[in-house]
Structure 1
Amino acid sequence: MTTTTRPADPTSPADLVVIGAGVIGLSVANAALSRGLTVRVIDRTGPASGASAGNAGGFAFSEIHPLASPDTLLASPKWLLDPLGPLSIPARYAPSIVPWMLRFAKASLPGRVAASTRAQAALMGHAKKTLEPFMALTGTAAMLRKTGQIQVLESARAFDAARRECEEAGHFGYGHRTLVGADAIAEVQPGLSPRFTHGIATEEWWAIADPKLYTLALAEALIRKGGWIDTAEARAVETGLEGAAIHLADGSTITASRVVIAAGAHSHRLAASLGDRIPLETERGYNTTLPPGAFDLRRHITFSEHGFVAAPLSTGIRIGGAVELGGLDLPPNYARARAMLKKAAGFMPGLKTEGGTEWMGFRPSLPDTLPAIGRASHARNVIYAFGHGHLGLTQSAATADLVADLLTGATPAIDLSPFAPDRFKGLI
């Protein structure tokens, strides 16, 4: 699939310019176009060239629990001892991330975790409600797979913790089924190592055939219906009585009545040009995508104690995940992708590990695990939509609907105060 663009007429400002052509930006653009706005998208490298291209392809609606939690804080010291484990911080980057980690620790206090969980559950409920109508709108419904997910665990302790989280998710309408013993797991997903003695199956955990192809299809839907996309790097946004001006890296400027900043891990730099200091950090994720047929993978598998997943895509088997808090500028450490693939080969006997393609991408993450969805502090015609972390694909249709409400003066379907971009003011 290829994406074509048509040149914009620089003398005719759009109602809306969306900065970012990942799954969030293109979802917002399509939703705004459906509400009657003229829409232009700009992206520094083009559609589906960032994290939207290489994620695991899951709509993880039941994942309502924030990464910022007491359990994560307790596990972090052990994880950090393994440079190729589920969580790592390169030594060169450690001093830079201290303020973010302090905010993360504050967000892990029990009261804040409870509030974040409620907010995430509300956003996830809206995500599930809006996804299929949005896919019908964009002609992408055939790419949806309702195959479910299985989380597999080796210890009874880890199983009990995971089960408690699933039971809490059950209060928000997400069911699950526990699996005890290798035979019970094999009935759901054959071929796994017998070391996994416990599992939890979640049916309301959907998937996309391939996240890059889906994002490119959103780009094509936008163009087909009259929107346009340009490859251009935004360096700053300025607002005034006439609307907004976006200053580009080549020295030119484009204008619009309204702007949405959905530039993923680069978004905080644009927000800073508007006077908003938002503590966005980059979770660098790694994966290896193996050719189709590398394993008889029937649904997503989450190896919870090891921090990675195996995902069945139309284009192959993707092994990836983990978190490397390393910013935007350090070179990739593909040893992390290879470490996960080596583990996967042990966990999935028979996995054909040859012929894979390695990838690294930047997940934009805020300390409390919630995205920023709302207006800029000093510019009501600029809306932020970024910081979704691991859940950008999952929450893309919901974010698009909520942002379209803000753009058109409608009342958003859920309370947006927990996602306010200025919620970190006054914190460390």
Structure 2
Amino acid sequence: MKTLSDKLLGGKQGVLGLALLALLILVILPLGLDIFRLNLVGKYLTYAFVALSLVLLWGNGGILSLGQGMFFGLGGYCMAMFLKLEASDPISTKIQTTPGIPDFMDWNQLTALPWFWEPFKSLPFTILAILIVPTIFAYIIGFAMFKRRVGGVYFAIITQAIALILSILIVGQQGYTGGVNGITDLKTMLGWDIRTDSAKYILYYVNAILLFGCIFLSRYILTSKFGMLLLAMRDKEERVRFSGYDVSDFKIFTFCVAAMISAIGGAMFTLQVGFMSPSFVGIVPSIEMVIFAAVGGRMSLIGAVYGTLLVNYGKTVFSETYPELWLFLMGGLFIAVVMFFPDGLAGIYQKHARKIPFLKRWVAEEKQKQTDAHASHGKVGTKLGAEA
């Protein structure tokens, strides 16, 4: 039986991977980069939350969602609403026709704060909303889809369509959401100026700690009995269903957890960048987030973080040099990874780690664990069927 530390750390190889990642994120990058570049890396790490959620959902659950950007955006908008209300106090907005409401509401001739904005004056409520609102939205989508056994490419297309609808809705409701410009000019949180260099350093480390917390949570889920059944469901869904398990409930739960993790990343994005717009909710960002997970390795939580950093660094470099070709490069990268490196960076690491003496034994142990896990998955249906 695995101990709690094994579930959270992933054994010896997991400890090594986490230590290297922590060294890079917490020590090397802060010491080697100026505050502008470090804040840029912090923005990349907010996308890594979505990549982690896709490792759970797609890599281990076999559920490809092309709409994770909507949960990222919902979390970001919840945080942006709180920050915007703080920046829209009557003194700061005294030149408006209606002081005390966000500027974009005043421009659109609203004369009072909408009722659904009122609770976001409270930070505790905002934090709960960041976690609960995307989760409820994911539950509604998941219940409607999975209870009717909608999956595969159909589910992927539907999530893509919902992301598009949500982004159009946000743009259309300009008086309530800021429209195409989004919610901007975010300055303070409880009086603390989030634009200063010291604040950016603090937010970078808070973001990193939350990211590692989500990695630990994901590992705990994947190494539990639920994780074993999740893999079995991905490989042999009908066998799991005939063994007496409600597959739809597993899918709904995983989809909801993935939505919550994505929303945390969106909230941290708003804090670090200082705005949130519908451009992070639609189809293009959602597909990019899938590419982050694919490049890093859709079965590897740590690989997803490296994949996010690598792809976004490449995006920054190539978009500056070839701005009109970036989307083609992104699509070509995704095709190349799927065809030639299906396990992503994590697969390349495991392949070459065998050549390093002190890693050889650890890789062999990890391979044996995976083999044992797959053997267990195959026995789940047989064992329960015999008991029945």
TM-score normalized with structure 2 length? 0.26
The structure whose residues are more often strand, as a share, is 1
Larger helix share, 1 or 2:
2
Structure showing greater Rg: 2
After TM superposition, the score normalised by the length of structure 1 is: 0.24
Q: Which has the higher contact order (CA 8 A, sep 6+)?
A: 2
